[in-house]
Amino acid sequence: MTGFSATVLTLYPEMFPGPLGAALAGKALEKGIWGLETVQIRDFATDRHRSVDDTPAGGGPGMVLRADVVGRALDSIGSDDRPRLLMSPRGRPLTQGFVRDLAAGPGLVALCGRFEGVDERVIEGRELIEVSVGDYVLSGGEVAAMILLDAVVRLLDGVMGQRESGCEESFETGLLEYPHYTRPQVWEERRIPEVLTSGDHKAIARWRHAKSEAITRDRRPDLWRAWEAAHATGGTRK
């Protein structure tokens, strides 16, 4: 297996690699920079109907993935140092910092929830780390797992053509990314800002940083407050 190994537990293994088989992630998969395997949770059901879910204890709508079935599926992977993640809307937010930590590790195991969720006992018993890709609800954890893996894989060594490509992106510095322009120089009477064609690299850097600050302050005041706090000494921002 490759250096970075991802295992996805799902009721729909046919969804993978999906988008992960194209573009940067797909090329990296072909080159063996990372590896992907899927585990069909239903294979670990023991009744003749291959049941993986049941009604929630205490009543209520929907169905819940069973702890015994999911536990067997997780145990089939064996023990290694990879974190066990559960894609869940109630989990810790997927941040760029967390993505970097995952990319620096040996890989990950992602359990894709379905229905109303997963029996809490298997979450506790297998020490699953719940991860959310946003404040919204998806039909299942598969798309969320793809988002997570796409974010992680692009940071692996050898995936991006230029290491600098990822250094100034949104969230990498704590600020949102500055605007980008390319040819033609004039489009529908809109010109590329003069500073970007001036050849003055220090002025360009100052312009880009100022734009990043302004965009972050306007669009993500939560990130702006965190950035200000991180760059403040005695109440004065550096």
What string of DSSP letters covers 64-93? Answer: EE-HHHHHHHHHTT---SS-EEEEEEEEEE
Which pLDDT does position 171 carry in this prediction?
Answer: 72
Classified by CATH at the fold level, domain 4-153 comes out as Alpha/beta knot (3.40.1280)
Contact 56, 116 (CB under 8 A): yes
CATH 3.40.1280.10 boundaries in the chain: 4-153
Which pLDDT does position 2 carry in this prediction?
Answer: 62
| φ, ψ (nearest 5 deg) of residue 232 | -105, 140
Q: In angstroms, rounded to a whole number, what is the distance separating the alpha carbons of residues 67 and 149? A: 25
Q: Identity (one letter) of the amino acid at 235?
A: G
Contact 116, 89 (CB under 8 A): no
- Residue at token pair 């992977």: 77
Which pLDDT does position 106 carry in this prediction?
Answer: 97
Q: In angstroms, rounded to a whole number, what is the distance separating the alpha carbons of residues 41 and 72? A: 9
Q: Is 22 left (phi over 0), alpha (psi -120 to 50) or beta?
A: beta
Which pLDDT does position 236 carry in this prediction?
Answer: 42
132-145 pLDDT, tens per residue? Answer: 999 999 999 999 99
- Which are the contacts of 156, defined by CB distance < 8 A and separation ≥ 6? 3, 4, 28, 33, 34, 103
Q: Which two tokens stand for residue 14?
A: 């046919």
Contact 39, 7 (CB under 8 A): yes
Q: What is the CA radius of gyration of the chain?
A: 22
Which pLDDT does position 238 carry in this prediction?
Answer: 38
Low-confidence ranges of the chain (pLDDT < 50): 1, 164, 234-238
- Which are the contacts of 100, defined by CB distance < 8 A and separation ≥ 6? 155
Which pLDDT does position 101 carry in this prediction?
Answer: 97
- Using CA atoms, how far residue 6 sits from 31, 35, 37, 59, 166, in Å, is 15, 6, 6, 35, 22
Classified by CATH at the fold level, domain 172-237 comes out as Trp Operon Repressor; Chain A (1.10.1270)
User: How are the residues of the chain apportioned to helix, strand and coil, as percentages rounded to the nearest 5?
Assistant: 40, 20, 40
Which pLDDT does position 235 carry in this prediction?
Answer: 44
Which pLDDT does position 36 carry in this prediction?
Answer: 98
Contact 135, 89 (CB under 8 A): yes
Q: What is the dihedral of CA 91, 96, 100, 101, to 10 degrees?
A: -30
Contact 76, 126 (CB under 8 A): no
